[in-house]
Structure 1
């Protein structure tokens, strides 16, 4: 998400226009009739609109919306005629998933699918790109094809890196993974291997190579005007794994020769050192990227004219600068963002800064605003606006008429639900360090003597931010106080805060999580013996490990797709090229035994509820099965709920509804409510 953040405007500047009524209706297939009543669990378990994209002429919006269950469908909204067409493309979610669609012309789109398949003992992901007319016709696969002579599989179906290749309508630049072919019995076999770039006409499907395959290439960056200016390469180790260093090279404008730009090395903690390029500004002839500055990530620009002149663009003394703000079909850089207690944006474009200033009052109560897309000349902008008490809604803004109208709510099922406000707080850890976090209290009441939940985030390379969170809001709606701590080991606060990462420095990270629970009790927010912990992914690991570190603190534990054994997590990646990076990140030593909840199951004395999808590629379901077996062996009380065919995100409204229902009942029983 590219947040505008904290905007204010004069409503006299932007007049709210009335879009055709059909566009204001819920567009999700699972949305209920206005007169129908759905359960709280179903309302919060319903998935949001996945993605919207604006056509180059600004007259149509492509929307990927959820279907009941785990599927998704592509619908086209006519912003002039006020109609939403029947779905023209869909995915079942079992296992293929429609992920994103963007316009290549006013009548043609490029969509990307992800699917999974078992190869031996490994569960692999495959992506493929498809071109389709906006009426659903002329469907063609854009991804290159392999054949019976291919000497390997092609997981990566390519990504569009430039939507305006050489100015020709419908032409894009797209990466291609070249797979060599067997030479026996043919003179036509391809020998190229590695990542390259092709220019593809999405209408005629003609294609030509613009960047030849490079065996070690992992990334190409275009200038948004059809020229590839940066390539990133990573050498392999003798064991066939990814090396720890990425070497970036660049081209001067109009030159085909590659020159050294920077080197980015992976650190032991899982971070990076060195200038990491993200985008090119062809007008300034610079590359924008991130690098360390005094222990925090900052934004820099480096001249691509041969001088490599380096300038600091934006830095903060308290938090990392972690996002570029980009706009339009050329993805031009217009600003950068960071998160303190809330996400903030600084614009480099004075016109957009003025626009940002005017939008606040036009969208009162929804300060988290994102530029989602723009038409070709940027006279029309597709926006997303939300807050802690609003899941968000999409708007179309016409800069020529100074009018703006709502397109659709992100989560129509929550349209009539009053949500709880989220407070930014700090609490003191055992060593005196002040830990930031977010507290959500149920609506009404005094905020004291409540059943309470500590909810550590995933990652561990992540952090929580102020805004809408469906899981914490659900529990608040059910009467729980919820505290989401940004414990040490979270990203966003610099390398000293991240430490060695949340696994190698687990005692500090989990100590902060447990101190969050103690703070809830010391403030009188949590009632005695009414404190639980709920976490997803690393958060699930933290929930389980918290009960190892302090068995009496929390009275119930819920882990969703949790890591439970650090060596098991390491072994899951052994068959992949990233194994060396994962191995270094997890590390070796005494923390493997002490920091693996499955190896310390006998210390967990409270009821445990686990949820896991059996097609999870982030954390294999074997980790939850191991945890459940170890807990049962130690005489513990545990239940494991497995979801067939689902991945790490449990991207299924039926499954999420069932999970919320069961989690709520489990907590009420365990806490004696």
Structure 2
């Protein structure tokens, strides 16, 4: 008989108090508790399993990298960002005492802002920090915004783990010639072997014009590359051409062509190479939905369907270890599902399900070099989640840190998968969150469409939905047509070109809430972020009287303006095709349909938003005011699309709640 998985609840992390009534503190302010950012945004386990590094929230919008000794009480904060001019994208161990971190930098210019990434290496005690990205030349003919990406951690043995070598990409920018042969004439993405301690660099793959992607076998050999051609205009073409190599060969052979046709992609999209099986895993269409395939890299191009689902897209690879080996696949039905190919992890997954019955959303985050220690994340709809360390040898599971300690004493609301009929009879899937303890009848209610539009909501914890449920609202999150995850037919042309269907499904969600008696009469509001904000503002075009309050965060308001925002970027043709041309551009733009809006509008937008320009909300607010419509517009300085600031988010939640209550007469 196999021993049961023991659950050790010893908290490793110290020094971060959990706030709440359980500790006898003052009553929780819901807006502050739910508005606080996740305490952890990244976790990495050292190759020897002795240390864990976490990128943690610091202050109201900053971050700090903290290293903890497992089994001890030592912790060190070794790197920080202010969240204003820079932020930490994530960290990973290149050696037992050496970390590599990605830094995202913002530089303001006279005509806007530019985003840069740079990689730094730093010791576990905070010493010996060095710039890992190649330095750009003052004579370079272009900007090196991309500071490189580690594509292989070279973890075949203790030698590389100790020596700190990695494979990373490097963007080569040609230089102006001043009569010397030393000027750089090459261009494109290259691959280098870099020692993260000494900074010694060796070229592994020469730069290729228009190259944009390299995939290794996890053991230091580049096996797949992707090239996206550019036209004479400098814009990217509508395709990525992939090539592969046979084992022990340097010759590139054709693999696939991924077409980027505006509404969706088509063709085999490679993600990972398995050296032992000599295959590449990737996603492609199967019977109208995305599925996982693998193709042999021996010259035969033999293709095998690995996993498909008849109802939803298969959209995730499960990978583990320093070689990032593929061990399973994931997809979301009513809940996120995982299918393991690896028999040992399949058994472990079942054991974890028994050990954590109330935390069914389990995912592997990182592993030691020998994979005897694993970091995993577990959560649910009523638990924001927490990180654990699992030791295979002792079969012990130890909690590292909860993701949102501010909510430890808050009773969260269960989330239920539902379907409701659209006008044409199509059943629309979604998620319903009711206030804790509510009977679900006669409530003020909010329909909350997701962003994207190329996205979908999933079962689990959502801080926006949970906040409004705490405040007494029923919240419906619809996966309207135009959402991803349900196949080509569901996606249609996309949520902009098929806006009438997508927004119609959102509105039908509100009607369903009222018809079921969940929503009280005339007490419906709509709240959305990004595309969700667009759908909220566009909803009155189809039914001006349905929603009595509209809250839009960082919304798209004018499709032609959105197109123009990308005109000076290489992805303009793809954005142009995604938006499309025709009458729907004007009909589908909230700023062009002000007359339809009767409900009061509240908008929030960061003035550093690179996803949706702040000018979109400025335009919408100006036109609403000119038409005498009630609007409150809050512009947030020095914040991007995600509004990563605890105080700002708390204020946004509080203002939204008060605004909706007033509009609904509560």
TM-score scaled to structure 1, two decimals? Answer: 0.96
Do structure 1's residue 70 and structure 2's residue 82 form an aligned pair? no
RCO higher in structure (CA 8 A, sep ≥6) = 1
Paired with 1:669 and 1:543, the residues of 2 have a C-alpha distance of 18
Q: 1:23 aligns with which of 13, 23, 34?
A: 13
Do structure 1's residue 202 and structure 2's residue 196 form an aligned pair? yes
Paired with 2:249 and 2:537, the residues of 1 have a C-alpha distance of 56
Task: Say if 1:515 and 1:53 are closer, same or farther in 2 by CA, change over 3 A.
Answer: same
Do structure 1's residue 36 and structure 2's residue 30 form an aligned pair? no
Task: Say if 1:668 and 1:332 are closer, same or farther in 2 by CA, change over 3 A.
Answer: same
Q: 2:169 aligns with which of 158, 175, 178?
A: 175
Paired with 2:44 and 2:245, the residues of 1 have a C-alpha distance of 31
Paired with 1:259 and 1:31, the residues of 2 have a C-alpha distance of 60
SS at match of 2:456: coil
Task: Say if 1:165 and 1:249 are closer, same or farther in 2 by CA, change over 3 A.
Answer: farther
SS at match of 1:576: coil
Paired with 1:508 and 1:184, the residues of 2 have a C-alpha distance of 59
Deviation at 1:166, TM superposition (A): 6.8
Aligned equivalent of 1:415: 408
Do structure 1's residue 434 and structure 2's residue 427 form an aligned pair? yes
Aligned equivalent of 2:325: 332
SS at match of 1:313: strand
Aligned equivalent of 2:150: 160
Task: Say if 1:639 and 1:479 are closer, same or farther in 2 by CA, change over 3 A.
Answer: same
Higher alpha-carbon deviation: 34-43 or 222-231: 34-43
Contact 2:312 2:333 in 1 (8 A): yes
Paired with 1:25 and 1:520, the residues of 2 have a C-alpha distance of 44
Paired with 1:18 and 1:290, the residues of 2 have a C-alpha distance of 39
| Length, aligned pairs only | 660
Paired with 1:584 and 1:32, the residues of 2 have a C-alpha distance of 53
Paired with 2:541 and 2:135, the residues of 1 have a C-alpha distance of 50
Aligned equivalent of 1:134: 124
Contact 2:602 2:631 in 1 (8 A): yes
Aligned equivalent of 1:125: 115
Contact 2:318 2:328 in 1 (8 A): yes
Higher alpha-carbon deviation: 126-135 or 38-47: 38-47
Paired with 1:422 and 1:341, the residues of 2 have a C-alpha distance of 11
Paired with 1:96 and 1:268, the residues of 2 have a C-alpha distance of 32
Contact 2:12 2:70 in 1 (8 A): no
Paired with 1:576 and 1:365, the residues of 2 have a C-alpha distance of 46
**Deviations 1:457-488, CA, capped at 9 Å, x for gaps:** 00000000000000000000000000000000
**Deviations 1:431-450, CA, capped at 9 Å, x for gaps:** 00000000000011311000
Deviation at 1:33, TM superposition (A): 11
Deviation at 1:185, TM superposition (A): 4.3
Contact 1:459 1:538 in 2 (8 A): yes
Do structure 1's residue 257 and structure 2's residue 246 form an aligned pair? no
Deviation at 1:551, TM superposition (A): 0.6
Do structure 1's residue 291 and structure 2's residue 284 form an aligned pair? yes
Deviation at 1:17, TM superposition (A): 2.5
Paired with 2:210 and 2:645, the residues of 1 have a C-alpha distance of 37
Do structure 1's residue 621 and structure 2's residue 614 form an aligned pair? yes
Task: Say if 1:411 and 1:32 are closer, same or farther in 2 by CA, change over 3 A.
Answer: farther
Segments ≥4 residues shifted beyond 4 Å: 30-35
Question: Which runs of no fewer than 5 residues in structure 1 stay unpaired?
Answer: 1-9
TM-score scaled to structure 2, two decimals? Answer: 0.97
Deviation at 1:552, TM superposition (A): 0.2
SS at match of 1:243: coil
Contact 1:24 1:407 in 2 (8 A): no
Contact 1:223 1:229 in 2 (8 A): yes
Q: 1:312 aligns with which of 295, 305, 310?
A: 305
Contact 1:24 1:409 in 2 (8 A): no
Question: Which runs of no fewer than 5 residues in structure 2 stay unpaired?
Answer: none
After TM superposition, list the pairs within 5 Å mapping 1:359-374 onto structure 2. Answer: 359-374=352-367
